[in-house]
Amino acid sequence: MTKATRKPIKMLVVSQYYYPEQFRINDMCAEWVKRGYDVTVVTGIPNYPQGKFFQGYGWFKKRREIHEGVKIIRLPIISRGTSKVRLGLNYLSFVVSGFFWQLFTRQKADIVFSFEVSPMTQVLPAVWFAKRRKVPCMVYVQDLWPENFQEMTGIQDGFIIKLITRMSNYIYRQCKLILVTSNSFKKAVERRGVPADKVVFWPQYAEDFYKPSETASSLVPPDDRFTIAYTGNIGTAQGLDILPKAAALLKENGQQVRFLMVGDGRGMPALKRAIEENGVEEYFHFVPQQLQHEIPAILAGADAAFISFADKPLFSMTIPAKLQSYMACGVPILASVSGETKAIIEEAACGLVSETGNAEALVKDIEHMLAMRDSERGEMAINALNYAASNFSKTELMSKFENIIWNAIADSTDNIGVQ
C-alpha cells in the first residue's frame, strides 16, 4: 500500500508549550497538517515566558481549540509564576494532568511525538500513552536531562539527580526514535547506552517567514547608532549578563552602540538591575515580546544579531533555535558562545565569535564589526543566507522527518490509520 492510498496518519503531539506560546513545534504541526496528517496536540495552558496565563486562557477557558488545522487539547496546569517553587509546581502539574488524561482519554493515534524542551518530565505522558496504546513514540530532544537540570540548579548529585537520571533513561528506552538538535547531543545520548541507530541528528529549521525583510520595523529607533538585536527568551541560560559589562567597556571607549532587547523572561529583572548598576541605561532599548513573524523586520533595522549562553559546559553542545532564524534573515551575527554554535558561525563565515562570558573579547568583536565596511558586513549576511539554505532547509528537513515517521509506523504496525 502506498502513502497516497493510506488513511491520514493520526499523530499525537505532546508538548507542554504550544501556540500562542512561540516555539518551533507550532510550525512543525501546521506543516504536518498541510502534508495530510491528522494532528492533535496535548499541551498546557499558555503562560511562557511571562509566568501567568495568557489573556483569554485559564482552567475553564479555551481548553480546546483548533489552530491552523491542528486540534489542541489543553491540560490544567499551574502557571510558572516568578519563583522556583512555582516553576517546580508548573512542571509537576503538567505530568500529573497528563497521567490522568492518558488513562481516561479516548484519543487515538498511530504515532506519538514529544517536543522536548525543559522540563524533560513533559515527555512522560507521551511515553505512557504510547505504551498503553502500543504505538511508537518519538522524542525530539532540545534540552539534555539531567545535564540541563544540573547546570541550572547547581545540584550535581544526590537522590534527585539519580531520580531524574532514571527518568531520562526510562524515556530513552521507551521511545522508538530519539531526534536531537546537535551532533554533541547525539553522542551524549549514545553514551547512556542508547543504540546509535536509534538516535538521529535532525537540526532545527527556520520558519518560512524568517527571511530578509525589505522594510525595518518602527520598533527600532530611527537613528544611526550601531544596533545589535537580541530576540527571544531573557533567562539565566542565555548568559545575557555579559551585555551590561560589555556596554560599560564600550562606554569607556566612547563607542555609541545600542543593544536592542526584544523579548521577556524570568531573567529580565536581574538584567535591568545589572544595567542600572553599570550605568549604561542609554545603551539598551527594550521591546516587549513580539510575534515571531515580526522579528525579520526588527532584524532588518539592526546591524547585527546577538547570541550568547551562560558559561556552562552543557551549552557548548547546544545549537540555539535563534541561530537558524538569524541566518535565514540574512543578518551578521555577534556571538559569545563555544562548541557547535561557534563552529557553525565560523564555518558559515557569517559573523564574529568570542569566548563564552568574555566581555572584553565581545567588545573587541563589536568594535571590529563597527569598523567594517558595509560591503564586508553584507558579505556576512549573504554567507548566512547561503548556509541556512544549504543546511537548514525546512522543505528538505521536513521531508526527511516524514520518511522517519513512515518508517517508524511501518516497523510497528501494518494497520496505519485504522485504529
Q: What is the pLDDT of residue 416?
A: 39
Please state whether 181 falls in left (phi above 0), alpha (psi between -120 and 50) or beta. Answer: alpha
Please report, for the chain, the start and end positions of each structural domain, with discontinuous segments joined by +: 3-205+393-412, 226-391
Instruction: Judge contact between 10 and 38, C-beta under 8 A.
Output: yes
Cα-based distances in Å from 290 to 34, 48, 54, 238, 295: 25, 13, 14, 18, 7
Q: What percent of the chain has pLDDT over 90?
A: 81
pLDDT 10s digits, 223-237: 999 999 999 999 888
Would you say the CATH fold of 226-391 matches that of 3-205+393-412?
Answer: yes
Q: Quote the pLDDT of residue 363.
A: 98
Q: Is the pLDDT of residue 152 over 80?
A: no
**Helix axis angle, 124-133 relative to 159-174, nearest 10°?**
40
Domain 3-205+393-412 has what CATH class?
alpha beta
| pLDDT value at residue 149 | 81
> Cis peptide leading into 320, omega within 30 of 0?
no
Q: Under CATH, which number does the domain 226-391 receive? A: 3.40.50.2000
For the chain, the first-to-last Cα distance in angstroms comes to 17
- In percent, the amount of the chain with pLDDT more than 70 equals 97
Q: What's the pLDDT tens digit per position in 298-331? A: 999 999 999 999 988 888 888 999 999 999 999 9
Going by pLDDT thresholds of 50, 70 and 90, the confidence category of residue 408 is confident
Q: Is the pLDDT of residue 389 over 90?
A: yes
413 — pLDDT class (breaks 50, 70, 90):
low
Average pLDDT, the chain: 92
The stretch 246-266 carries a mean pLDDT of: 95
The gap from C-alpha 224 to its chain's centroid, in whole angstroms, comes to 32
